[in-house]
Amino acid sequence: METDDGRKIDRKGLEAIRIRAVQRVEAGESPETVIKALGFTRTVIYQWIAK
């Protein structure tokens, strides 16, 4: 089974994903739920939130 990762997404696309992910967390959704739905690692969402 082949999986996609963030390295295959262009810069603008990845930025849009980051913004939406952080907005979802700020709206009250669990960071773990958001990142699991997007397919990134747990550490990534916390880095995005910190920025």
Nearest-angstrom CA–CA distance, 8 and 13:
10
* 31 neighbors 45 (Cβ within 8 angstroms): yes
- Whether 19 has a pLDDT exceeding 50, the answer reads yes
Residue 4 pLDDT grade (very low, low, confident, very high; cuts 50, 70, 90): low
- Whether 48 has a pLDDT exceeding 70, the answer reads yes
* 39 neighbors 4 (Cβ within 8 angstroms): yes
**pLDDT of res. 1:** 45
Nearest-angstrom CA–CA distance, 16 and 36:
17
**Domain ranges (residues) in the chain:** 11-50
**pLDDT of res. 10:** 85
